[in-house]
Structure formats: structure tokens, C-alpha cells
Amino acid sequence: MNIFEELESNVRSYCRVFTDVFVRAKGSIMYSESGAEFIDFFAGAGALNYGHNNDYILEKVISYLQSDGPVHSLDMYTGAKQTFLKRFSELILEPRGLDYKVQFCGPTGTNAVEAALKVARKIKKRHSVFSFMGSYHGLSLGSLAVTANLNNRAAAYLPLSNTAFMPYPHGFMSTFDSIQFIDTVLKDSHSGTEKPAAIIVETVQAEGGVIVPRRKKEARRRCLGEHGIPGEDEVLRDAVVDEHVSERLPDIAVCQHVLGHEAEAKPQHVDEPRRDENDGVRDDQQLDCRRQRSGPERV
């Protein structure tokens, strides 16, 4: 029995699939202790968009540590945070005319989702949240309550309440007008569904595949705009704003794992799905492949 099996709790996930012990990682390659090389398609679920141990980042981190820069400060002001906020404003907010405030939370996606839900409930003074079938927002209790996977939910052994799951245009419902449905639910005084504090939307559903919603822009305008309900979970995206599809920006953009900026790291161009005149990805272009997430692949 290895030390992981012997001492680590059963709360383990990816290591059950990728059983090698990884000892080195550089760029897109991970090396296991047996000397095998793997291309890391998983990339920390989007946290490693610059690759493992990117030289530029390494140099900055090492020089910060060597200068005795504070590595723990709760939420006190630090020079590092000051520099980050200035750069974030210059690179992300100002060029787009965004007047967002930045809330720093813990380093996981679920922390950010929890924070967003809390802010939305506080501002709107409402308890429920609309989420979508197929969505994944994390495993802490608040985020789990808006996560659709029934196995994940069952593991909480608690009632996960205050969420209404809306149909997501997928599978046999791929032509279903979810927006019209939500619109009706929100407007109809006999819908039996109270107005939510937020609608939480994954820009692209990425759990078990990549599912691009139709008419994303319209959804924002009509549901989030008209009804004044905040929400968006962009946790796996590498930029704050999805400029190709955003018209009306969400009141809260959840952003975790990694931040990117085109000028410094332009993503490789991927064939863009064709879009219809409204904005949406055409039905026939939906990347509709609910399958296991990809991970490290042996070279």
C-alpha cells in the first residue's frame, strides 16, 4: 500500500484516475517518478493557462520571496495587492470601461461562488438563486446547492435548498427557449417561483464536456438586464470578460483559477463556432459532448 492510500483520507478524486506520482512539471509536460512524460491537458482545471513553472512567473515569485515580501497578511494592504489592483484596473477594467469592484476571496472557485452568492443575497434581500441544469459551481455547501450533479449533491447529506434549476438548452431540449421560460417564470405572478437573488450562469458549461449555450447575449439582456438580477460564474475562463459574446455585463463576474490578458499571453486561436445574427452558436454547432474531463495524457 502506498503512503497516499495509507495516510491520506478517502476524499480524493483525480488521483484515482491519474495514479502516477508526479515529481516535475514544466510548461505543458508533467513527469512522473517512473520517468514517464505526460502532456497535461487538464492544466489545473484552467489554473495553469501559462503552463507549469512558467519562467517569467517563476522569476517574479522568486524575486518577491527573496525580497521578504509578505506571503500572509489576511486582508491587510500590501504592496503586492496594490500593484495587482493597479495592473488589473489598467489591463482589464479601464480598457473596457468597467466599474467593477474587486473582492478577494480564498483561492478556489467555490470560494468565489460563495462570495458572489452572499453579496447577491445581501443586496437583493432574497434567498433563492436560479441555476441551470448541467451546471457545476463547486462543492462547498452554498456552491453545491447551485450545482446540478445529483451524486455531488447526495454527498452533502443535507437538504440543499434555495435553488431553482432552470432548463439549459442541451440534449433533447437543445431547441428549448430557456430564456423565454425564465422570462415567463419571472413575470408571471402565478408561476409559483419567487424572484431569485441571482441567476448563476456558466458562460460555457464545462463539466464533462464543453457545452456552449445558445443565445447567451440575449439571455443576459433579457433575463439579467430586464429583471435586474445579478450573476455569472466565469471561473474557468482566463479573462474577466468574454468579449465575443458580452453585451450586457453581469453585475457580478466570478473569476477564479487564473487571470489572463491578451497582450501578455494571447491564447492559441481555436476555430470559432459560427454564430447566428443574434449572437448564439448555431444549434448544429453546439459542442455537445458530455464526456469525462481530459487530463494528463501519456506522451
The least CB distance from residue 66 to ligand PLP, in Å, is 29
147 with 249: CB under 8 angstroms?
A: no
- Pick the closer one to ligand PLP by CB: 148 or 186: 148
Decide: is 235 part of the binding site for ligand PLP (CB under 6 A).
yes
- Pick the closer one to ligand PLP by CB: 175 or 292: 292
The least CB distance from residue 268 to ligand PLP, in Å, is 21
Rg (CA), the chain: 21
Decide: is 113 part of the binding site for ligand PLP (CB under 6 A).
yes
Specify the residue for cell string 502506498: 2
Decide: is 236 part of the binding site for ligand PLP (CB under 6 A).
yes
**Largest Cα–Cα distance in the chain?**
64
Q: Which residue is nearest to ligand PLP (CB)?
A: 109
The least CB distance from residue 211 to ligand PLP, in Å, is 12
Decide: is 108 part of the binding site for ligand PLP (CB under 6 A).
yes
The least CB distance from residue 283 to ligand PLP, in Å, is 23
Total residues contacting ligand PLP by CB under 6 A comes to: 13
CA distance 270 to 113: 28
Among residues 75, 201, 46, the alpha carbon closest in space to that of 129 is found at: 201
- Pick the closer one to ligand PLP by CB: 144 or 281: 144
Among residues 4, 34, 39, the alpha carbon closest in space to that of 20 is found at: 34
Residue choice 138, 213, 231, 296 for contact with ligand PLP (CB under 6 A): 138
The least CB distance from residue 133 to ligand PLP, in Å, is 14
Residues β-bridged to residue 129: 163, 198
Q: Which helix (H) or strand (E) holds 38?
A: strand 37-40
Specify the residue for cell string 517512473: 34
Applying the rule CB under 6 A, the residues between 201 and 230 that interact with ligand PLP are 202, 206
Decide: is 136 part of the binding site for ligand PLP (CB under 6 A).
yes
257 with 46: CB under 8 angstroms?
A: yes
CA distance 266 to 260: 9
Decide: is 45 part of the binding site for ligand PLP (CB under 6 A).
yes
Specify the stretch interacting with ligand PLP by CB under 6 A; choose among 62-70, 131-139, 180-188, 223-231. 131-139
CA distance 149 to 207: 10
Specify the stretch interacting with ligand PLP by CB under 6 A; choose among 91-99, 103-111, 117-125, 155-163. 103-111
Give me the DSSP letters along 73-123: -TT---HHHHHHHHHHIIIIIHHHT---------SSHHHHHHHHHHHHHHH
Residue choice 49, 91, 92, 110 for contact with ligand PLP (CB under 6 A): 110
With the C-alpha atoms ordered 285, 286, 291, 294, is the resulting torsion angle positive or negative? positive
The least CB distance from residue 47 to ligand PLP, in Å, is 8
Task: Please give the grid coordinates belonging to residue 54.
Answer: 512558467
Decide: is 233 part of the binding site for ligand PLP (CB under 6 A).
yes
Residue choice 38, 100, 109, 211 for contact with ligand PLP (CB under 6 A): 109
DSSP state of 16: G
Applying the rule CB under 6 A, the residues between 187 and 206 that interact with ligand PLP are 202, 206
Which residues contact ligand PLP (rule: CB under 6 A)? 45, 108-110, 113, 136-138, 202, 206, 233, 235-236
